[in-house]
Amino acid sequence: MNFSAKIPFSKIFLYIDSRIGKIDPHNLEKFFEEKTSTEVELEENFLQNKNRKGLARRVVYTKVRDKRERKFKKPLPKEVDLEKKVIEEDKELLGIIYDGHRLVKLLRGLLSQDEKENHTIIITKRLFGTLEMNESRYHIRTVINSIPSIISTSGIVEGPAKPRKYYFTDKDERDEILDFRPMTYSDERMETAVKSYLLQTVFWRLLGDPSCDKEGCRLYNSHWQRELIENQIKGELCEEHKDRLQQFKKR
């Protein structure tokens, strides 16, 4: 796809769903401003600030009930109460997968027209996945590019796979079979990884294509943990995407 001189957004809304360890939201704000020369509006505790009657129930309704089909059911009162605590008190919620497309639709409904017309990204700890028509089960996602785009820090840990032998090895011996250090929830590299996925959302908005097929580029579509380390952590934008970002900055 050719780069267009048309400016698809003039402002970036960067929202954080809840506190995320090892990430400084202001570093992300500064990174975005430097890379795009665009005004960035940062807001933390996004869902807490947008909280209104019925929101927790609607969030629960996006939960994946069956990893092999898009099947949803009426939320139980206990589930709603737990979700309220997650939103209001920033409680941890582990082991739950949300349907990414439903979650995006819900979040879009919380946005103003200005937020929809410009570029809005929401960073969350929530684990989300998608089940496409040609797939037999849900797949964990790191990012969904849409309005808004959403990035999951849990997805960065759980999405890209480790070598197959890792999963068939005793837990106590798993680290010994790897010659690299995979991402963890308290990883000091998380902020760097998130920055790479922030750039992917920008190129999706600019070009309609968030990924690059060149290894070493921060936009490379990493399916494995090793690839994520080499591209999203250690990588830089390739020359082509550097040039395109410069064109946007000069608008």
Residue with tokens 């963890």, as numbered in its chain = 184
Question: What is the reported pLDDT for 28?
Answer: 98
Which of 2.40.50.140, 3.40.390.10, 3.40.50.280, 3.40.50.1820 is the CATH number of 11-249?
Answer: 3.40.390.10
- Nearest CA to 110 out of 32, 210, 7, 13 is that of 13
Report H helices in 61-119: 77-89, 100-108, 113-117
Report H helices in the chain: 25-36, 46-50, 55-60, 77-89, 100-108, 113-117, 153-158, 164-167, 190-207, 225-228, 239-249
Per-residue pLDDT of the chain (251 residues; tens, 9 = 90+): 344 444 579 999 999 998 888 899 999 999 999 999 999 999 999 999 998 889 999 999 999 999 888 888 899 999 999 999 999 887 777 789 999 999 999 999 999 999 999 999 999 999 999 998 888 899 999 999 999 999 999 999 999 998 888 887 887 777 778 888 999 999 999 999 999 999 999 999 999 999 999 999 999 999 999 999 999 999 999 999 999 999 998 77
pLDDT tens per residue across span 80-134 = 999 999 998 877 777 899 999 999 999 999 999 999 999 999 999 999 999 988 8
Structural domain spans, the chain: 11-249
Helical packing angle, 25-36 and 239-249, nearest 10°: 80
* Beta-bridge partner residues of 122: 15, 150
- Is the CB of residue 138 less than 8 Å from the CB of residue 97? yes
